[in-house]
Chain A
Amino acid sequence: MIELENVAYSYGGGELLSEISLKLAPGSFHFLTGPSGAGKTTFLKLCYGALIPTAGDVHLFGQDVRAMTRDDIALSRRRIGVVHQDCRFLDHLPVAENVALPLTVAGADRLEDVANMKELLSWVGLSRRADALPPELSGGERQRAALARAVIQSPDVILADEPTGNIDWEMSQRLLTLLIELNRMGKTVMIATHDLSLIRAAKSHVQARVLRIANRRLQLAGADL
Chain B
Amino acid sequence: MNAVVAKVLGFLVGDAQADRVVPPAGFTVRLTLFTSAAMAFLMVFALALSLASGRLAATWSSELDRGATLRLSAPPEQMAAQTAVAMAVLQTTPGVATARLLSADEQRALLAPWFGPDLPLEDLPVPQLIEITETGAGFDAAGLRLRLAAEVPGAVLDDHARWRKPLVRAAGALRALGWVSILLIGAASAAMITLAANAALAANAQVIEVLRLVGATDGYIAQAFVRRFTLRALAGAAAGVVAGLIAVLLLPSAGAEATFLTGLGFRGWHWLLPLLIAPILGAVAYWATGVAARKTLEGLT
| A residues neighboring B (CB under 8 Å) | 50-51, 70-71, 74-78, 82, 84, 88-93, 97, 101-102, 104-107, 109, 149, 153
- Given the interface pairs A97-B20, A104-B21, A105-B220, the reply to whether A74 lies near B206 with Cβ below 8 Å is no
- Given the interface pairs A70-B298, A88-B209, the reply to whether A93 lies near B214 with Cβ below 8 Å is no
**Interfacial chain B residues near A51, Cβ < 8 Å:** 301
A50 to B217, CA, bound (A): 14
- Given the interface pairs A90-B21, A109-B17, the reply to whether A74 lies near B216 with Cβ below 8 Å is yes
Flag whether B219 is at the interface (Cβ < 8 A). Answer: yes
Write the chain B residue with the least CB distance to A45.
B301
- Given the interface pairs A50-B301, A71-B218, the reply to whether A90 lies near B213 with Cβ below 8 Å is no
A53 to B213, CA, bound (A): 18
From B23, B24, B213, B215, contact of A75 by CB (8 A):
B215
A194 to B212, CA, bound (A): 27
Flag whether B18 is at the interface (Cβ < 8 A). Answer: yes
Determine whether the beta carbon of B209 is less than 8 Å from that of A71.
Answer: no
Determine whether the beta carbon of A78 is less than 8 Å from that of B215.
Answer: yes
Annotate B283-298 by CB proximity to A: 1 below 8 A, 0 otherwise: 0000000000000011
Determine whether the beta carbon of A106 is less than 8 Å from that of B215.
Answer: yes
**Interfacial chain B residues near A97, Cβ < 8 Å:** 20
**Interfacial chain B residues near A104, Cβ < 8 Å:** 17-18, 21
- Given the interface pairs A88-B206, A101-B21, the reply to whether A82 lies near B217 with Cβ below 8 Å is no
Min distance, Cβ A70 to any Cβ of chain B, angstroms: 6
12 sample A-B contacts, Cβ–Cβ < 8 Å, listed by A number: A74-B216, A77-B212, A78-B215, A88-B210, A90-B21, A93-B20, A101-B214, A104-B21, A105-B18, A105-B217, A106-B215, A153-B215
With most chain A CB atoms within 10 A of its CB, the pick from B23, B212, B214, B218 is B214
Flag whether B156 is at the interface (Cβ < 8 A). Answer: no
A93 to B21, CA, bound (A): 8
A93 to B20, CA, bound (A): 8
Min distance, Cβ A162 to any Cβ of chain B, angstroms: 16
Min distance, Cβ A33 to any Cβ of chain B, angstroms: 23
Determine whether the beta carbon of B23 is less than 8 Å from that of A92.
Answer: yes
Write the chain A residue with the least CB distance to B15.
A107
Known: A51-B301, A77-B214. 9 other contacts (CB 8 A): A50-B301, A70-B218, A75-B217, A88-B206, A90-B207, A91-B23, A92-B23, A93-B20, A93-B21
The 9 closest A-B pairs by CB, nearest first: A105-B216, A77-B215, A78-B215, A92-B23, A102-B214, A74-B217, A71-B217, A50-B301, A104-B17
Count the A-B residue pairs with Cβ separation under 8 angstroms: how many?
64
Min distance, Cβ A179 to any Cβ of chain B, angstroms: 18
A70 to B299, CA, bound (A): 11
Determine whether the beta carbon of B215 is less than 8 Å from that of A149.
Answer: no
**Interfacial chain B residues near A101, Cβ < 8 Å:** 21, 210-211, 214
Write the chain A residue with the least CB distance to B25.
A92
**Interfacial chain B residues near A149, Cβ < 8 Å:** 214
**Interfacial chain A residues near B17, Cβ < 8 Å:** 104, 109
Write the chain A residue with the least CB distance to B23.
A92
**Interfacial chain A residues near B21, Cβ < 8 Å:** 90, 93, 101, 104-105
A51 to B300, CA, bound (A): 10
A114 to B46, CA, bound (A): 54
**Interfacial chain A residues near B209, Cβ < 8 Å:** 88
**Interfacial chain A residues near B216, Cβ < 8 Å:** 74, 105
From A74, A76, A77, A153, contact of B218 by CB (8 A):
A74
Determine whether the beta carbon of A74 is less than 8 Å from that of B212.
Answer: yes
Determine whether the beta carbon of A89 is less than 8 Å from that of B210.
Answer: yes
Min distance, Cβ B57 to any Cβ of chain A, angstroms: 53
Write the chain A residue with the least CB distance to B20.
A93
Min distance, Cβ A166 to any Cβ of chain B, angstroms: 19
Min distance, Cβ A65 to any Cβ of chain B, angstroms: 11
**Interfacial chain B residues near A84, Cβ < 8 Å:** 213
Determine whether the beta carbon of A105 is less than 8 Å from that of B20.
Answer: no
